[in-house]
Amino acid sequence: MSLSPDIADHFNLNFSDDPYWAESSWFSWAIPERGINGFFYNHFRPNMNCLLGGPAMWDRSGQHVWEFPYFDWQLMRVMPEGRFGVDYDKYNWTAPWSMSLQVIEPLQRYRLGYDRNDFKLDLEFEAIAEPNEIGVQPGLERAFKLHFEQPGRIRGTVILEGERYDVDCFSIRDGSHGPRFLESTMSGGYTWSTADEHTGFHILAKDRHSTRDTDIVGGYILRDGRIAPVTGGIRRVVARDGARPDVIEIETVDTLGRTLHALGKAWVPAEFMLFPDRGQWWTQFKWDYDGFTGAVGEDQEYYGIQEFRKWHRAGPDAWNKR
């Protein structure tokens, strides 16, 4: 059953008193031909009166946030003035640090804004297919109750220190709500590509006992303009550059019986600790599949923070086996 705007485009006001209850939204943007990747991400915690969020822009000059052309992740800020879900909504708000998000057309078009520290972002996301919902999986109960992804195209401009960057690339967005305590969630991978208006994929995979293979538990295949959920498969790390995934293979099948084999190479890597309880590699990849070569996409390999610390310290013998 398709998600309705009433569910996907608005805060869920029937939330529990769990302090970690969250409403999140993310949009990917990139300029692949210039080796630039970016995100626009926000995360509300209404029971804490707390909003996390910000934009990022990184390139191949460095993988840590202090090396990025721009980074402004606000970790613990009060939410916008007014009543949560009444005076502002999931896609209708402006943060005190200028970040803003507006729905132009429900489930179809969204406007992203930011203007601070000599960095101005003005982008519009337009969907190319309906959103795909992922159900709660064992080990992810503390990550979300609702989670969906939607492929699209993102256009607009970014201006950094007077230099203009034109953005026009295929993209993806996600949305979720539910309790989110990431330290207790399993390690895994989040991988996607959108090649054109009719072709793309997304997968969410859980770690399989620290092997090269992670089990796909959700996602979709978009082919010939038709999107369908996947039923399983493997995300496989073929090669690493140190601790970081460098070559990844995807094998999956959807509810229509369509199979997908995709091979991706890391292009613009980054390493994040956006949350105190989670660490991850977040890398722009070039993907080959369905007749496309070098299609834009990403891979995120994520860990609870203690696992991430241990993984960095594990060394080449461990890295070569996973």
pLDDT for the residue numbered 23: 94
Given a contact cutoff of 8 angstroms between Cβ atoms, the answer to whether 183 and 173 are in contact is no
Phi/psi at 34 (5° precision): -110, 10
Q: What pLDDT, on the 0 to 100 scale, is given for residue 212?
A: 84
Give the pLDDT of residue 277.
85
Helix, strand, or coil here: 41? strand
Helix (H) or strand (E) holding 207: strand 199-207
| pLDDT score recorded for residue 141 | 56
Copy the structure tokens of residue 136.
């709660």
Question: What does the H/E/C string look like for 263-281?
Answer: EEEEEECCEEEEECCEEEE
Q: What is the pLDDT of residue 91?
A: 97
Name, in order, each residue with C-beta under 8 angstroms of 83's C-beta and a sequence gap of 6 or more: none
* Stated pTM of the model: 0.94
Q: Are 151 and 187 in contact (CB under 8 A)?
A: no
Give the CATH fold of the 18-319 domain. Answer: AttH-like fold (2.40.370)
Q: What confidence score (pLDDT) does residue 318 get?
A: 93
Instruction: Please give the Cα distance from 12 to 23 (Å, whole number).
Output: 8
| Nearest to 74, CA basis, from 115, 42, 46, 47 | 42
Residues of the chain with pLDDT under 50: 1
Instruction: Look at residue 124 in the predicted model and tell me its pLDDT.
Output: 98
**Taking the domains of the chain in order of start, what are their residue ranges?**
18-319
